[in-house]
Amino acid sequence: MGLFDDDFYSTKVSRRTRAFSKERRILSSKQTRRNWSSVRIAFISSSTSAIAAVLLFGLFFNGGVGGSAKVQAVSTAKMSDDSESLEMKTIQASAKVRPAVVSVINEQQQVFSMGVPNEEGEGSESKESTEKNSLQQAGVGSGFIFKKENGKAYIMTNYHVTVDADALKVTLISGEERAAKIIGEDQISDLAVLEIDDKGIDTIAEIGDSSALQPAEFVIAIGNPLGLGDSLSMGIVSKTRQIVPVSLNQDGNYDWEQEVIQVDASINQGNSGGPLINLDGQVVGINSMKIADIGVEGLGFAIPTNNAMPIVSDLLANGYVPRPYLGVYTMDLAQYFAQQGGSAGGESDSSKDGSDDEAEGAAQLILPEDVRAGVIVLEAVGPAKEAGLVFNDVIVRLDKQAVGSTMELRKYLYSKKHIGDKVEVTFYRDGKLTTAQLSLTDKVEE
C-alpha cells in the first residue's frame, strides 16, 4: 500500500466511481449544450448589432473608416497638386521674364600717370609724366527690357546704377554685350531708362499692377547679384507699402522718402534695377535697395511699378521728370544747430552741397529764440533769386504750410504744386519775418 493509497491520489478508479463519473458526464453534457445555445444566440445578436451600427455610421459619415481614409487620401493628393502647381508657376513665371533681364555695366574714366624714365632708366624718379585715360568697370547692376519701338529696345533700371557713367554696356541673357545710351535719369525716384539696338531681342517684360499685391504673396527677384550673372531668388511680400527715408546726396542726412514694396527675397548688390515679378510673370516692382546692417536679414525693397511707370513715361518723353522748381540750395536749421554743437554736415534742396564757406556764413544767423525749425538758404537761383531771396534767409513756411526741413519743402512742392503755380515764401532775414511771392518753373540744367 502506497503512502497515498486513497481514491483521491490513486491512479486506480473503482467501478462505483466510474459509474458515478459516467452519469455526471452525461448530465454535464446536456447542461453544456443548453448553455452553449444561449451563448451562441447572445453572440450572434451582439455581432448583428455591431455590424448594423457600423453600417449606419458609414452611411452618415461617408463610409466610416474607409471614408475617412478616402478623405485623407484626397487631401494629401490636393496638397501634392498644389505644391506641384506652385513649383510650375515659379518655373513658368521666371522663364517668361528672364530673357528680358540684362546686366548693366557702369564704366568710368580712370586716369593713370605714366612716368617718363630718367637717365638711369628708372621710371620711379621721372622728371615728367603723362596721363592716360581708360574706361574701367565702376559698378554692375541689373535692368529689364520693357519696350521695343523703331528698332530700339528700352531698358528700365535704377538711377544709382547709371549715375556718373562715362559709358554703359548691357549684357543680354545670351552673354552678348551691347553699348547702351541713357535716355533719361531721375534721382528723386531712383529710376533710369536706357536704349539699345533691338536686333535679336524677342522678349519684352510684361508690366503688372503693383496695387494688386497682397501680404504673403510669392514674388521672384531676378538680376545680377554681386556680378555673378543671371540669378533668381524667391520670397514673399512682407509689406505692400513701406516708407523708407533716403539720403539723395549720400551724406547720411535724410532728405527724401521713398515708397517701396518690402520683400524677404534676397536682394543684394547687383540686383538693383532688376525686376520683381509675381507668379504670373508680370513685373510688379523694380529691385532697388537692401538694408545692410548687423542682425538684419531678408529685408529688401522694390519700387512699385504703378509709381515707376509715370516717371518712366516722362523720361521717355523728356529725358527728365518735370517738377516745380523753387531755386534754393539749402541746409536744415536743425543741422545748423547740430553743427554749432560740434556736429558737422548739411543737406541741400538739390544735388549740390553747401560749401564750408557757406556753412561758416550760416553760423552768423540772427533768429528769434523760439525758431528751431526751418531751411537755411545757402544759394538762391532762378525763381528764388528773382523773388529776392538771398544767402542766410531762413524759410519757415510755403503758403500756409510750415516747413521745417528740406524734405518737407520738397514734399510740399512735388505733391501740392505744379510748374507755373505761384507760391508765397515766408522767411526770416536778420531776425525779421518777411514774405515773397514767386512763380514756380521747370528746372533748367545748370
Cα–Cα dist 416/424, whole Å: 13
Q: Is the pLDDT of residue 60 over 50?
A: no
User: Who has greater pLDDT, 90 or 270?
Assistant: 90
The confidence score (pLDDT) of residue 231 equals 85
Summarize pLDDT for 260-281 with one digit per residue, the tens.
Answer: 999 988 777 788 899 999 999 9
CB under 8 Å, gap of 24 or more: what pairs does 396-399 form?
396/371, 396/426, 396/427, 396/428, 396/433, 397/424, 397/425, 397/426, 397/427, 398/423, 398/424, 398/425, 398/426, 399/423, 399/424
pLDDT at 52 over 90: no
Residue 296 pLDDT more than 50? no
Q: Does residue 309 surpass a pLDDT of 50? A: yes
> Which of 257, 291, 318 is where one domain is finished?
318
Rounded Cα distance between 39 and 33, Å, is 10
Task: Give the model confidence (pLDDT) of 344-363 as tens digits.
Answer: 333 344 434 444 555 554 55
Distance between CA atoms of residues 224 and 203, nearest Å: 18
Residue 116's pLDDT is: 54
Which residues are bridge partners to 275 per DSSP?
A: 286
Q: Are 114 and 131 in contact (CB under 8 A)?
A: yes
Average pLDDT over all residues of the chain: 78
Position 40 confidence tier, pLDDT thresholds 50, 70, 90: low
pLDDT of residue 110: 83
Asked if 418 is an active-site residue, the reply is no
Residues 337 and 424 in one domain: yes
Neighbouring residues of 336: CB distance < 8 A, sequence distance ≥ 6: 362, 363, 365, 376
391 has pLDDT over 70: yes
Q: Are residues 366 and 313 in the same domain?
A: no
With respect to residue 34, please indicate whether it lies within any of the assigned structural domains: yes
Note whether residue 178 is domain-resident.
no
- How distant is the alpha carbon of residue 151 from its chain centre? 33
> Do 293 and 340 fall within a single domain?
no
Q: Is residue 85 flagged as an active site residue?
A: no
d(C-alpha 26, C-alpha 260), whole Å: 99
Task: Write down the catalytic residue from 231, 233, 272, 350.
Answer: 272
225 and 144 Cβ atoms separated by less than 8 Å: no
What 3-state class would DSSP assign to 361?
A: helix
Q: What is the DSSP letter of 121?
A: S
As a whole-number percent, the residues of the chain with pLDDT over 90 amount to 53
In a domain, 167, yes or no: no
Q: Which of 160, 288, 332, 393 is catalytic?
A: 160
- 227: in domain: yes
Other residues' Cβ atoms within 10 Å of the Cβ of residue 28:
10
- The enclosing domain of 436 has a CATH number of 2.30.42.10
Query: Who wins on pLDDT, 338 or 292?
Result: 338
- Residue 121 located in a structural domain: no
Half-sphere exposure of 142 (CA within 13 A, CB side): 33
Q: For residue 38, name the pLDDT band (cuts at 50, 70, 90).
A: low
Per-residue pLDDT, 131: 59
pLDDT at residue 427 greater than cutoff 80: yes
In this prediction, residues 4-17 reach a mean pLDDT of 36
Note the pLDDT of residue 250. Answer: 72
Average the pLDDT over 93-105 and give the result.
95
Residue 227 near residue 140, CB atoms below 8 Å? yes
Residues 348 and 280 in one domain: no
Same-domain status, 254 and 303:
yes
Amino acid at site 312: V
Residue type present at position 35: N
When pLDDT is cut at 50, 70 and 90, the band that residue 338 belongs to is confident
Return the pLDDT at 327. 95
355/416 same-domain check: yes
Q: Determine which helix (DSSP H) or strand (DSSP E) holds 422, and give its type and residue range.
A: strand 422-429
How sure is the predictor about 115, in pLDDT bands with cuts at 50, 70 and 90? low
Check residue 364 and give its pLDDT.
Answer: 77
With beta carbons less than 8 A apart as the criterion, state whether 384 and 438 touch. Answer: yes
What's the pLDDT tens digit per position in 117-155? 555 555 555 445 555 678 898 889 999 999 999 999 999
Tell me whether residue 92 is in a domain: no
Whether residue 398 sits in one domain with residue 331: yes
Question: Are 313 and 331 contained in the same domain?
Answer: no
Same domain, 245 and 353: no
Domain membership flag for residue 339: yes
**CATH code assigned at 233:** 2.40.10.10
Q: Which pLDDT belongs to residue 120?
A: 55
User: How confident is the model over 372-390, as a mean pLDDT?
Assistant: 95
- What's the number of domains the chain is made of? 3
47-61, 73-87, 130-144, 150-164: least confident range: 47-61
Please name the residue ranges forming H helices in 61-127: 64-97
195 within 8 A of 184, measured Cβ to Cβ: no
DSSP secondary structure, 226-261, as one string: GG--SEEEEEEEEEEEEEEEE-TTSSS---EEEEEE
Judge if 216 and 273 occupy the same domain.
Answer: yes
Same domain membership, residue 307 and residue 220: yes
Range name among 51-60, 282-291, 296-305, 332-341 with the lowest pLDDT average: 51-60
More confident residue, 35 or 100: 100
Residues of the chain with pLDDT > 70, as a percent, come to: 67
270 and 299 share one domain: yes
Range of the domain at 437: 324-442
DSSP 264-330: -S---TT-TT-EEE-TTSEEEEEEEEE---TT--S-EEEEEHHHHHHHHHHHHHHSS---EE--EEE
Of 186, 190, 198, 349, the active-site residue reads 190
Q: How confident is the model at residue 230 (pLDDT cuts 50, 70, 90)?
A: confident
Q: Is residue 143 part of a domain?
A: no
Task: Examine the pLDDT at 65 and tell me if it is beyond 50.
Answer: no
- Residue 76: CA atoms inside 13 Å, Cβ hemisphere, count? 6
